[in-house]
Structure 1
Amino acid sequence: MKINLALVALVAGGGTIASTSSAGVATPPEQAFRSETKKFRDWTAICDNLNNCVAYAPAEGDTGYVIIKMEAGPEAKPLVHADSYALPNDGWRMQLTIDGRSFVGEGVQEGNKRTGTTFPQPSDTLIAAIGNSTTMTLSSADKTTPVTVSGAAAALLWIDERQGRTGTTTALIGNGDRPASAVPTPPSAPTVVRVPAISQENLPRTMPASVLANEHLKQCNDLNREAITANQNWTVYRLGTETLLWSIPCGFGAYNAMESYFTSSPDGSNVQSLSLPSSRGPQEILVNSEFDSQTNTLSAFSKSRGPGDCGQIAKWVWNGNSFAIVQENTMEDCLGMHSDLWPSTWRARS
């Protein structure tokens, strides 16, 4: 199942999304890469701003996946994970069979829930087999499901080129004689200075008329007259001695709750609707979000369907002037993948 993250709020809220602007979006440092996603037939390749990359493909019927993870730099080692909810647990063990050659994985679990199967090091032989294969299946116990290999080689070659691995001993496909030391070191992560927490005592008990009058908040109310009014369910926090943060619900769905955020001066003046930076453009509506006043961190988990196996996870921290993004993971295809494995699309230090 392919989803459009920009439409999550529209679908769940039953309305339209307000236009956004790029105000407050921090420019990444020159040494950082752009987060980029490429499609190669049935395979998808994604690299984040630090050049950490993944390539993945669906199992038949979008019931599972095979994903290859490769971080940037000469010392990085590839990892392979796979799973399919169409197959039995069998002690959380899965087997990949590639052109008749079998590779047995080790199950990973969180409590009593299976979160996938990992294939131990060394995985370079397995990855080379995937890149040069004609057939691949994922099996458990007595059941098997096909996994597409169409586009696998092209996806792996693109990652090799982007990470500077082509022709080296560390290349995912088509290894060469050049040493691992020829691979460029990873870029430095952007640094975000987090403002220390401030007392949350004596916060306002009523919402100022100036916030109520904000045009973006009016749009939220117009879309959700029966579900919400601006005079209930809002929360206010103190970001600094001169700045308040207002969290206001802006729509509900079966598994998503949407919020808009505003800043103002303590007296209610200078009201600003927040536009949060992301790798895919600014976001004015956050989904399943919360603010932690102890760490000045704003987080969101946008689910594209109920199980939460696809969507977007992001975190921002307050730097004294705006919220800067420090983490983003995105999974556009609904394949039963645990969020721990979702591709990284942005990383920063804070």
Structure 2
Amino acid sequence: MNKQRQHLQKYLVLGFMFFSPFSVAETIQGIHFVHKDWELACDNTGTCRAAGYQADDHLDRPVSVLLQRAAGSNPPVTARLKIDSDHLPAQRKNVNVSMLGRSYGTVAIHEQTGEGTLSGQQTQALLRAVQGSAPIIFTADQVEWALSTEGASAVLLKMDDFQKRIGTASALLRKGKLSNAGVLKIQPLPLIQIKGYSRGIAKRLDVNTAPAKQLAEQLKKSVNKDQCWTLYEQNYLPDDQMAIYPLNRNHVVVEAPCWRGAYNYGYGYWVMDKALKQTRQLVTASGSSFSEGQIFASQKGRGIADCGSQEEWAWNGSRFVQTYRAMQAQCKGFAGGAWQMPIFISKVHAAQ
């Protein structure tokens, strides 16, 4: 798990301090929205994250700001800044902030992560500045980064709409006199237990052997050619294999190549009976790996405006249920994306 993901889970655990006893209940459907140089992701707890970047003609100076706000009556908006650490001047640990034609002090930047946290005053000024047309300027020595405001108003309005704040005093845009009583309430972070999983040694099959071909015929009954064309066409690479992972006394997880492209590959993951005669569940045809009762999928985009997505599932004793889903639409010069932008998040742990 990377540091961004650890920070995200720590924030949610400290923010809610309680969990739902229902493993798959989801009363809020998360959303993802993109407009110009900004994007928005709101998750199943009601928390929204809005990320802004530099314009495309300034890709040589990557910069991003993440505005985050939980659901509820009137929680504060927090703001974090990220600058590619490779572009920071040597020994420089802070950057100057200029907004609305005036200076707003400095932001301390972590030397390794390139991240910093804006103060409350800086955050409030940023919320006003992003609704204008002038870029927000960060400087260190003679180096300058320009945060675009294009798309910010649409994204913040979408955030207010999702959290049911439009027309209330807590709205970021379109404030009004309506009570905050009707705004979206914080939802508990779902607790998902990994149950009934038993570790074991995986069995691997060369895709061109008779057992693998027989297994492929069984798998095709639950997946179509568009989802898993490699399995149908048997257009395998020389090192391709199928893997059979023990799951518990009666079930296994089968992994088979499904598709590949210039930037990505996808494996299919199925729950089958131990005899490989019946398919219990097709979890995904775009997975990446299986480990410790969990299936992971990470897909990359191919351009500056198409970054990637992540999904995860965990075995709850009877089936795999989704535990995480995130999308980053705009990497904008940040390898792997500047921020985690989840649509669904949960707390996963192994049952004792």
Aligned to 1:196: 196
Specify the alignment match of 1:160 in structure 2.
Answer: 160
Give the number of aligned pairs.
306
In 2, distance between residues paired with 1:88 and 1:49? 35
Match of residue 49 from structure 1:
44
Give the deviation of 1:324 after TM superposition.
Answer: 0.9
Match of 1:7 in 2: none
Report the Cα distance in structure 2 between the residues aligned to 1:184 and 1:327, rounded to whole angstroms.
21
For 1:251 and 1:164, how far apart are their aligned partners in 2?
Answer: 41
The CA deviation at 1:138 is 3.2
The higher-RCO structure (CA 8 Å, 6+ apart) is: 1
- Cα distance in 1, alignment partners of residues 131 and 68 from structure 2: 17
Distance 2:128 2:214 in 1: 62
Tell me the residue number matched to 1:244: 252
SS in structure 1 of the partner of residue 87 of structure 2: coil
Distance 2:151 2:289 in 1: 39
- The amino acid of 1:342's aligned partner reads Q
Contact 2:255 2:269 in 1 (8 A): yes
Q: CA deviation at 1:179?
A: 8.2
Question: Partners in 1 of 2:37 and 2:203 — Cα distance?
Answer: 53
- Is 2:332 the partner of 1:335? yes
Q: Percent identity?
A: 19
CA contact (8 A) 1:304 1:310 kept: yes
Give the match's secondary structure for 1:157: helix
What's the TM-score once normalised by structure 1's chain length?
0.72
Q: Is contact 1:87–1:139 with CA below 8 Å preserved after alignment? A: no
Q: What is the Cα deviation at residue 81 of structure 1?
A: 2.6
User: Where does the alignment leave 5 or more consecutive residues of structure 2 unmatched?
Assistant: 1-21, 206-210
Task: Give secondary structure in 2 for the equivalent of 1:160.
Answer: helix
How far is the alpha carbon of 1:317 from its aligned partner?
0.3
TM-score between both structures, scaled by the size of structure 2: 0.71
Aligned match of 2:277: 269
Cα separation, 2, equivalents of 1:45 and 1:261: 30
1:42-72 CA-to-partner distances (Å, cap 9, x unmatched) read 4333212222112233302254333312122
Tell me the CA shift for residue 183 of structure 1: 4.8
- Give, as a single letter, the amino acid of the residue that structure 2 aligns with 1:233: Q
More strand, by proportion: 2
Query: What residue is the counterpart of 2:10 in the other structure?
Result: none
Matching residue within 277, 300, 310 for 2:307: 310
Shift of 1:164: 3.5
Alignment of 1:256-295 (within 5 A): 256-271=264-279, 274-276=282-284, 284-286=285-287, 289-293=288-292
Give a deviation string over 1:90-121, Cα, whole Å, max 9, x none: 32533442221233222135xx4x34333233
Q: Structure 1: where are the runs of 5+ without partners?
A: 1-25, 277-283
* Letter paired with 2:103: S
